[in-house]
Chain A
Amino acid sequence: MINFVYLIPLFPLLGCVTLMLVGKKMGEPSAGYFATAASGLSFIATVVTFFGLRALDVEERQVTKTLFEWVPAGNFSANAGFLVDPLSVAMLLFITGIGTLIHLYSVGYMHGDENFSKFFLYLNMFIFAMSILVLGDNLLLTFLGWEGVGACSYFLVSFWFSEEKNAMAGKKAFITNRVGDWGFMVATFLAFASIGSIDYLTINGTAAQLSTPVLAAMVLLLFVGVMGKSAQFPLYLWLPDAMAGPTPVSALIHAATMVTSGVYLLTRVNGLVYEALLHAQWVTNIIAWVGVGTAFFAATIAIAQTDIKKVLAYSTVSQLGYMVLAVGSGVFVAAIFHMITHAFFKALLFLGSGSVIHGMDNDQDMRRYGGLRKLLPITSATFIIGWLAIAGVPPFAGFWSKDEILLSAWELGGINGKLLWFFGLITALMTGFYMSRQVFLTFYGDYRFGDPDKDEVDQAWDGYIAHAEAEKDEAITAREAAATKLEEANVAVESRNVAFAKAQMEVTQTTSEDDLAKAQKALDTASGALEKAEAGVVSAQDELTAASALVDVKDQAVSSVKSEAARRVEPEPGEQRTAGAASDFLPDAVAKRAEHHPHESGWQMATPLVILAFLSIVGGVIQLPFTSEVHFLENWLEPALTFEHKFASSAGTKVALAVVAIIAGAVGIMAAVSVYLRNQGDPAKIEKQILFDGWGYDRAVTAFMGGPGAKMFDAITWLDANIVDGMVNGTGSLVRGTGSTVRRFQNGLVRSYAMSITLGSIGLLVWFVVRIAA
């Protein structure tokens, strides 16, 4: 039945090719269901292979199935062969299983997308590449899958590439991973140079004969590859940005499967790593410290994130750090155990967040959620299970696997092991805190999607102040107009006065009767005009007084609005930060959100959530710590591991460590309860800006790569363009120059050729004669 292993990559490959050819015609939703079926068949083939492998004796459970000789080159050879053993099958079970669930989920999530079938094409291509990565029996074939999943990740991160931000995130993921791939490639070259083979079985079998420096170099170079793929410090940068892709992609590629392939690679070459642990412990210490450092570092950043997916992204980086810590401690079973349980609950959390985002009109800001427990019942119930699993609450899956990793760090012994354990424990505490924060912000508290957030309140108050000031300016303009009017009225009174005096003079000086009557009449008119003008002055004066009063009122209004804004924007403890009187000036987006009604997702999205929630509850049973009979995963993986690791601690120590871990998780959760559920304490004191910015690391790298780094790359480019290309082009111009010199002898004249032949013959003749004579 192991022969069915070929079908595992074949089904998704066929699905991918079919969708490439007729995907557009299939349309929505049949293209999605078709891809789901392809992935599902692959899962069935994996299950069949699993039972086939189980039917074999324990010692024989490592079978190489060679398809053909792929690269025969001198004494180098790489086969296209599959290594079927407990490790690869265990990986494939959860890759194809969760992959199928996420395919189904995507049918609902990608509803209405114009590139619906293309999305499923990429998903199937990803499952194909991932199965090649896992099944490959040598480093080169794994590298092929490694690059394949990298390419799929690139396609899917920038799936909505019409937005600059998404396209940039895809490029960032791709380029950052190239740095890691360099390590992988050089390690492959080194394996061939020192061992003469790149087969995993040969590498693990001959690891003990390698000299320590070569061993250390090989493990560290492979670890550089792991840093890239499994998002470890300092190459983790791309993973948070990769959240620009559709949420199912984040769940499948950037949480459950692809990012764990680095840890898988180190487990695949566990013979090498184990030798390093024995003879060059500084190497495995580097691995363990990078792992626990990344776990700690990412957890601090996750605390301050506001984007629901960013929290999960940093949480993923942190959990991958745990797995790397387990590998560095030499306990591969714990790494694989956590990988599997993490795949369950992190896929669940991502899909749950996708469901929330889907229901909340694509808004990803957690500060605007709240109270969604009643509105999204299935999503919230399953999400809460995922939260309990990741926070390390027994008996959920995450508790068992995280506990095993902490125990393996502890057992490294000495101050080193204790410190690793301690940082792991603190990270567990922070995990409890930030995950609880996410759950409380999203599902508990009041429904506040229609409420304005911080920036929007600021915007509203700014708008209100600007409005009041505009009114004040208007009043000032009116006052100035009134003053001008008064002045004009005064001038008018003056001129009427002059006219009146002139008319009076006329009356007294006139002698003739006729003229007197006329003058009298003019005098009457003048006096009427004067009265009118005087009345105008009075009304203008009144107007001015009123306008001045209005200016004062508006002035007071401005200062009162300003003081109220100051009070509202930076409220006293116990007061709410609200838009208050300024609510008319809130951005339109707020009103749009207020009208939005959250809705639970359809069955395609709910089914995977429920299944994954179930797995997150019971996932721990695959490796229970009680007796060696219930170490199911360990017993199953045993043939694939070079050595068997047994925990040496007494039962008492184990229980004590577990209790400490539970307490740490509980402390984290309780802290979040008091801050985010009971509003005791100011969240702003915890969510520091520097944490939100990821300690400024991303910005520093960007600044370096844009500045001095760019100069370095310019120098390398110059070297490439002038020295390397110079050599290649130099060869070309040498040939060309020689040719243009020699071509002159090719003049087309037969007789000159004949002359050359003759002279040459004579020359040869002379040479022969001289030689014979000598």
Chain B
Amino acid sequence: MLTPTYYLVLSALVFSIGAFGVLVRRNPLIMFMCVELMLNAVNLTFIGLAWGLNDIGGQVSVFFVMVVAAAEVVVGLAIVVAIMRRRDGATADDLSVLRG
């Protein structure tokens, strides 16, 4: 019998992979992908619980997350492209001009 628990476990795994990726990788693009993994893991919990609790609210929330994620990717990629034009092969650790 398929219960929400499976989905929750899966999404926890995916979230952890994403978070780990954000923490250890330095390439901004890869970090972005990892962030997407984390967002989609959250989406998965929404869907899983919406299904399990028979509540439409979770599915609606997913749409919000997707819209926000899309917007965030647009802004984020634009920043990455702008940085790449100015300097070659910058990693996330090189971009520390905002330090206090």
Q: Which residues of A contact B (CB under 8 A)?
A: 743-751, 754-755, 758
Contacts and interface: CB of A to CB of B under 8 A. Distances in A.
A741 to B, nearest CB: 11
A246 to B, nearest CB: 63
A747 B93 contact: no
Contacts of A746: 98-100
A755 B23 contact: yes
A724 B35 CA distance: 53
Contacts of B23: 751, 754-755, 758
Given A754-B23, A758-B19, A748 B95 contact: yes
24 contacts: A743-B100, A746-B98, A746-B99, A747-B96, A747-B99, A748-B95, A748-B97, A748-B98, A748-B99, A748-B100, A749-B93, A749-B99, A750-B31, A750-B92, A750-B95, A751-B23, A751-B24, A751-B26, A751-B92, A751-B93, A754-B19, A754-B22, A754-B23, A755-B23
Interface in B67-100: 92-93, 95-100
Contacts of B93: 749, 751
Contacts of A747: 96, 99-100
B16 to A, nearest CB: 10
Nearest to A743: B100
Most buried by A among B23, B97, B100: B100
What 9 pairs between A and B have smallest CB-CB spacing?
A748-B96, A748-B99, A746-B100, A743-B100, A748-B98, A747-B99, A750-B92, A754-B22, A749-B96
B92 A749 contact: yes
Contacts of B99: 746-749
Contacts of A745: 100
Interface of B: 19, 22-24, 26, 31, 92-93, 95-100
A213 to B, nearest CB: 58
Nearest to B20: A758
A754 B97 CA distance: 17
B17 to A, nearest CB: 13
Most buried by B among A745, A747, A750: A750
A749 B97 CA distance: 9
A631 B99 CA distance: 85
A608 to B, nearest CB: 73
A746 B97 CA distance: 11
Contacts of A744: 100
Nearest to B97: A748
Given A745-B100, A754-B23, 15 more contacts: A743-B100, A746-B98, A746-B99, A748-B96, A748-B98, A748-B100, A749-B92, A749-B96, A750-B31, A751-B23, A751-B26, A751-B93, A754-B19, A754-B22, A758-B19
Contacts of B24: 751
A751 B96 CA distance: 10
A276 B32 CA distance: 83
Contacts of A748: 95-100
Contacts of B96: 747-749
A744 B99 CA distance: 8
Contacts of B98: 746, 748
B77 to A, nearest CB: 15
